Structure 1
């Protein structure tokens, strides 16, 4: 590739979503700089890709055309003690504040794409939540709301878009944790399975980020979910169907609560989220249905 391609700063670039996005950005001719907390030996700089362990000071030139902010500690990493909740907040808000400072000091940065999550809406029985739906009242909802507000502090200096991401499906990520019991015929819905399961294929999520980066989607908030959310029960049935296995053994919510603590609420409750902004701007999902997505993913070699 040319050494004159636009430069992108990507935080959280070594994770499941970030690694797929990095490959796509490089394929599109971008040069990518990944901020990583610890530059491991396996990460090698190249013409198209380099790694940094700290942001440049705001008063120094930042050579980036855009910033994509995915960083944040995994919500399922530990039980939600007060200390862990603070860690989850700090891992998102502190870095985002640093990015805002850098953007305000560097007028060449034209866009900030900042990750959020559909947890913004809290638990909801509404059949169709679009981007105008109000935030929920639980911890995850407050965390997403505050994270987005933090990113929007840069609106006086650049274009800011927040992508509220659903459950990302692909080879790796959340699906890897779900597969073993289903492959053994021991899978099934969580509880009664009526709660919403709003998902997106990893390829469609990457395509959404690229469309925003190119300015093809102009909405300030984008629900990064497939256009056909399903119930948890219907997801379990679809996964079992794709694997040719039964999917009828429910996971009791109380058992999850005992194992995971408060974070189990992210699994036992849910929401049906619609990507209205993307659809209105004619974004074409390659995998609009759960059966299409699972069939493509599980046909891939492990």
Structure 2
């Protein structure tokens, strides 16, 4: 396939571009500056500008563009940027696809398990109702923009969990653990939806060729609690894990992001991926952490 990738320079985008090329796909990276290489195309999502000729030539579009959720704290201004960056990028691509003479057959659009909100005691597959909270609201408007893609374009909403790899939220967790400062967060019993970086990228490549559309949970098959994840990381890094950070203290330091990122309980499962025949190479959080730390070493 000829695949157009937005957000190609980010944590996930960099890995996706490399792996997609290794799999034989031709990749064109959307860049927010004048294109300087044959595999680049300039765009300006804040102005709604994208090259319609590139969209005509593309078989698939993967949109991973958006302000990082791992950047803290979430001030009021940054929360507005989180929303605006996702909506502008998605709207620009979708409007371009609607104007293209031959729209791409596939759109894989980033999303998040934040769609489900805080749901203790529930197992969350893709049929679960939307939740409440800031991220649930972000996902709702983000996905709504993606679903405006042309009727002939199969649109997949990539509801990702915490990606276990050398970037994003795990980079900060690993740094704190390395310094001996890892701590139980709140009760520690809240489920963290996680996925190994290898499986995140393999799932995207799988979905390029699949017939699935709509929401797909990109999470590992074995739900794990925050305590489980952080204790396993500390064990593998040979660091202590005995400190505790009470929920009120976390909220004091991080505000809205505390409840949305660290304290929310989301036992999400990848039901549609499993039903579609996808097989995870890192089926437990332990194997995901082992892979992450092996790459670091």
Whether the TM-score (by the shorter chain) exceeds 0.5 is yes
Is the 1:121–1:271 contact (alpha carbons within 8 Å) kept by the matching residues of 2? yes
Q: Structure 1 residues 98 and 51 mapped into 2: Cα distance closer, same or farther (>3 Å)? A: closer
Is the 1:112–1:160 contact (alpha carbons within 8 Å) kept by the matching residues of 2? yes
Query: SS of the counterpart of 2:163?
Result: strand
Q: Aligned equivalents of 2:54 and 2:276: distance in 1?
A: 37
Query: SS of the counterpart of 1:153?
Result: coil
Is the 2:94–2:146 contact (alpha carbons within 8 Å) kept by the matching residues of 1? yes
2:135 matches 1:140: yes
Query: SS of the counterpart of 1:114?
Result: strand
Q: Aligned equivalents of 1:188 and 1:77: distance in 2?
A: 20
Q: TM-score, normalised by structure 2?
A: 0.91
Q: Within 5 A, what are the aligned runs for 1:85-96?
A: 85-96=79-90
Figure out how many residues of one structure are paired with residues of the other and give that number.
Answer: 291
RMSD: 2.1
Q: Aligned equivalents of 1:121 and 1:294: distance in 2?
A: 25
Map of 1:118 onto structure 2: 113
Map of 1:235 onto structure 2: 229
Q: Aligned equivalents of 2:55 and 2:181: distance in 1?
A: 55
Map of 2:78 onto structure 1: 84
Is the 2:98–2:150 contact (alpha carbons within 8 Å) kept by the matching residues of 1? no
Q: Which runs of 5+ in 1 are unaligned?
A: 1-5
Map of 1:3 onto structure 2: none
2:248 matches 1:254: yes
Map of 1:99 onto structure 2: 93
Map of 2:42 onto structure 1: 52
Q: TM-score, normalised by structure 1?
A: 0.89
Map of 1:209 onto structure 2: 204
Q: Aligned equivalents of 1:141 and 1:61: distance in 2?
A: 30
Shift of 1:95: 1.8
Is the 1:59–1:105 contact (alpha carbons within 8 Å) kept by the matching residues of 2? no
After TM superposition, the structure 1 stretch with the greater mean CA deviation from structure 2, 126-135 or 254-263, is 254-263
Equivalent residue for 1:294, pick from 271, 279, 289:
289
Is the 1:114–1:163 contact (alpha carbons within 8 Å) kept by the matching residues of 2? yes
Equivalent residue for 1:171, pick from 149, 166, 179:
166
Q: Aligned equivalents of 2:37 and 2:26: distance in 1?
A: 11
